[in-house]
Structures are given as C-alpha cells and as structure tokens.
Amino acid sequence: MATIKRTVEVELSTTGLDAQGKPRRVPLVTDQSGNVMTMEAPPAIEPDLAGDHMLINIGPQHPATHGVLRLVLELDGETVVRCIPHVGYLHCGFEKIGEYRQYNQIVPWTDREDYLNSPGNNVAFALGAERLFGIEITPRCTVLRVMACELSRIMSHLVWLGTTCIDIGAFTPFLWAFYQREAIYKLLEDWVGARLTVTTTRVGGMAADVPDGWVDQLRHFTRTFPKTLSEIDRVVTRNGIWVGRTIGLGVMSADEAVNHGLTGPMLRASGVAYDVRKDFPYLDYETYDFDVPVGSNGDVYDRYLVRMEEMRQSIRILEQAITRLPDGPVNTDDHRVVLPPKSKATSDMESMIHHFKQVMEGPRPPIGECYVAVESPKGEKGYYMVSDGTSKPVRWRIRPPSFVNLSAIPKMVEGHLLSDVIAINASIDIVMGEIDR
C-alpha cells in the first residue's frame, strides 16, 4: 500500500495533526516550570500477537453501510486482510419487470432504482427511449431536462455529503445539507407533485411544464444554495478530524480506476477527467460552460473535494439554463408517442385513434437497440434497450454505476483499518436500490 504524504493546512483548532500530517503528541507529565518530565518506561512485555484471523460481519442491517450492503471482513488484528461484499438483498427484478411494461410505464421504475437521483434517471430513460423511437425533443424540453438533471445531481451529492459526515462523526453539515435538499424537493413538488419518486419525464417530453413563477424560485435557490455550500466547506474541508480520517484512504490510481470500471466522481478523483456530459454529450451539454473537477490522489478526501466542486458547477449550469429557457411546447408533436390534447380526443377522429392506439397498445419503436448513458451523480448510468418491434422492450438493461464502483471495494479497503472501511464505503456513494435493482 503506497503511503501518500500530503499537507493540508488545518485551520480549526484541533490537536489532531501537525503540518506533516502526523498525529501531534502532547506531553502528559510536566513539572512546575513546564518541562517535560522523563519517566522510565516499564519493561515492555512483548504480547503474543500472532493470533488467528478474525471474521467480522458488517450489515446488512447497519446504518453505516448505506442500505442493505453486507461486508464480510477478514481481520488481522484491526487491519483488513480480505473483504467479501454481498449484495442482492434489495433485488426486485426491475429489468425483468421492464420486459412486461410499455416504455412510458417503465419510467416510474427508474425512479425507484437510484432513488436519490430520480429526475436524472427519468431523463436518462427518456433519452434512451427517444433514440429507440427516433424522435427529437423540443428546445424547451431539453433545457427543462438539464435543470432536472442538475437539481438531482445536487440532491444526490447533498445526501452523500450529509451521510458521509455522519459516518465520519460530524452531525451539523448533515442538517445543513438536508435543509437544502428539502428546498430542491420543494421545487420538484411544485413541478410534478411528487418529492422522491417524481417521474418527471415521458417519452417525447415531460410530465408537466414548470408552473408560473417556478423559475424564479429556482433562481432563488441558485443564489442561496452556494452560501450553505461554503459554510459546509468552511466547517469540513480543513477540519483536522475530517482530513485525518479521509486522506490516503482507499487510494485508486488512474489506471486502476479505469480498469476497475469506476466512473463519475470516483474516477475523476483519481485524475481521469471522464465526464459523459463532456465526452459523449447529450441534451446540448457541450454548449454549457462548466468545468470538470479532477482530483489527483484518488483517495476519500479527493472524492469529497470533487463532489463539492461538482455541486458548484451544477449551480453554474442551472444559472445558464435559467437564462436560456425558451418558450414553446414541452412535448413533441409526434403523436405516435405523445398523446394529443384530451380536448381533441372527442372531437377529432385522428386524435381519438392516437389516444386509442397509444393507450391500448402502446407506442411501438422500430426493431433496434441503443445504449444511452448519462452522467448520474454516481457515474455513468446507461440504459441499454433492445426492441423487437413490439410495444414492450425485449431487454431493458440498467448499467448501474454504483454497482461497478462498489465492485472495487475489496481492492480499496485491503490493508486499511476496520474504522476506515466505513469512510471508504461512504466515499463510493452507493445506493442499494440501484445496485440490486
């Protein structure tokens, strides 16, 4: 295990670390003038430490595993020798169910896999289905989807930040983060009526246009949220305890990270600037001005920094999206996939046929397949859909980023202490709903 020596300026008054990153030693026994008294150490008795390895089980019901993850650890003293993860406790066969549902009926299932990122999943699924149908979306819909994606990225990172702070021992940032997350939920509730499982998109458009005044609320959020972010930043980033508990843990080099299939902030913390929004753009992300934060050490601390910076960049994207939000229709006028207005269904023959066909049979894409990936807060989230010409996909595959990211945990925790396993596990940002599906 390569040790990494880094110096982080510790601002808050903690006695944790000195400038070299080593634990600061404070003499316990001094005489009246303050000199350190030397004491003769008692003769050391070498304990017999060559014991058996211990098997310890964490989870599946354990708050620090962020869901129902189960880790079986082989310990030598307090050092992890081997880690065997077990997943699948939340498996409900989303992919199988998707094969029995029409495309618009699958959208609610995408809410429930990565439930911290529901709007982002909806957008990803809708983009995939639209590629499969070969339809274009309207300019207003494109910008609204960018807003949905970035709001859900902030939302997911806030939950990650709060829970990781709790894992490492800080409670206050959790409350601040969840307060802001609540503000985003309020925005989503105003938009579509739901908070957690929002189902914002439909194939070819959105569930609803944003209500009047919503954009002003969003603008208010983009102005107030950075204040909270900088508060968290001031409390956490240079905190001695935080730094001491995150630096040098779970290091993945750039080559290892790519080879293990890490994506998202995990990969970027290792120094690889792969962001689907930049490299394989969708929703016109190439026209937005934002930066991709990249770490250099690939440890837990860098992953934290990358996610913090990503939230700031999301705010930048949101501000640009607000200024460019065009007027116009939200749904396409392609009535193979989007229902005509209800008022026309009883007066116009063509519209009635469309209503009947879409409700009874469902839209049918041509035979084909596509893999559409978006940059979810966890990494590259891909939907691979195969159509055989019927109204239900023959295969709907979710490429879960946190599933692949978690598969590298045995490599990351080996050689670290048991207490560091919690920090490393938290840094992956797993959502078990997505892993088990």
By CB under 8 A, the residues from 375 to 404 that bind another protein are 380, 382, 384, 386, 388, 390, 394-395, 397, 399, 403-404
Compute how many other C-beta atoms are within 10 angstroms of the C-beta atom of residue 79: 15
Instruction: Compute the least distance from the CB of residue 173 to another protein, in Å.
Output: 15
Count Cβ atoms within 10 A of the Cβ of residue 322 and give its class: 0-12 exposed, 13-18 middle, 19 or more buried: middle
Instruction: Compute the least distance from the CB of residue 242 to another protein, in Å.
Output: 13
DSSP 71: E
Q: Which two tokens stand for residue 169?
A: 């021992």
Q: Which residue carries 């700031």 as its tokens? A: 312
Instruction: Compute the least distance from the CB of residue 363 to another protein, in Å.
Output: 15
Give the interface segment with another protein, choosing from 33-41, 187-195, 290-298, 323-331 (CB under 8 A): 290-298
Give the interface segment with another protein, choosing from 55-63, 194-202, 239-247, 336-344 (CB under 8 A): 55-63
| Residue of the chain from 31, 40, 52, 212 that contacts another protein (CB under 8 A) | 52
Closest by Cα among 149, 128, 201, 205 to 387 = 128
Q: Which two tokens stand for residue 298?
A: 């690939």
Which is nearer to another protein, 258 or 417 (by Cβ)?
258
Per CB under 8 A, does 146 bind another protein? no
| Residue of the chain from 63, 77, 88, 193 that contacts another protein (CB under 8 A) | 88
150-209 residues in contact with another protein (CB under 8 A) are none
Q: Which two tokens stand for residue 221?
A: 């959020």
Per CB under 8 A, does 355 bind another protein? no
Instruction: Compute the least distance from the CB of residue 339 to another protein, in Å.
Output: 24
- Which DSSP helix (H) or strand (E) runs through 242? helix 240-246
One-letter identity of residue 246: T
Instruction: Compute the least distance from the CB of residue 341 to another protein, in Å.
Output: 27
Which is nearer to another protein, 11 or 216 (by Cβ)?
11
| Residue of the chain from 114, 150, 167, 275 that contacts another protein (CB under 8 A) | 275
| Residue of the chain from 226, 334, 344, 414 that contacts another protein (CB under 8 A) | 226
* Sign of the dihedral through C-alpha 106, 112, 113, 119: positive
- Which DSSP helix (H) or strand (E) runs through 151? helix 139-168
CA distance 187 to 436: 29
Per CB under 8 A, does 87 bind another protein? yes
Residues that bind another protein (rule: CB under 8 A) add up to a total of 79
Q: Please spell the DSSP secondary structure of 348-408, one letter per residue.
A: -HHHHHHHHHHHHT---PPSEEEEEEEEETTEEEEEEEEE-SSSS-SEEEEE-HHHHHHTT
| Residue of the chain from 6, 62, 70, 195 that contacts another protein (CB under 8 A) | 70
Q: HSE of 199 in the Cβ direction (CA atoms, 13 Å)?
A: 12
Which is nearer to another protein, 297 or 351 (by Cβ)?
297
| Residue of the chain from 77, 211, 366, 415 that contacts another protein (CB under 8 A) | 366
Per CB under 8 A, does 219 bind another protein? no
- Which DSSP helix (H) or strand (E) runs through 201? strand 201-202
The interface mask with another protein, positions 229-268, x = CB under 8 A, is: -x--x---xx-------------------xxxxxx-----
The interface mask with another protein, positions 299-328, x = CB under 8 A, is: ------xx-xx--x----------------
| Residue of the chain from 162, 173, 244, 293 that contacts another protein (CB under 8 A) | 293
Which is nearer to another protein, 146 or 422 (by Cβ)?
146
CA distance 151 to 158: 11
- Which DSSP helix (H) or strand (E) runs through 205? strand 205-206
Which is nearer to another protein, 48 or 52 (by Cβ)?
52
- Which residues are paired to 385 by β-bridges? 370, 396
Give the E-state strand segments of 40-168 in sequence order.
Answer: 54-58, 70-76, 79-86
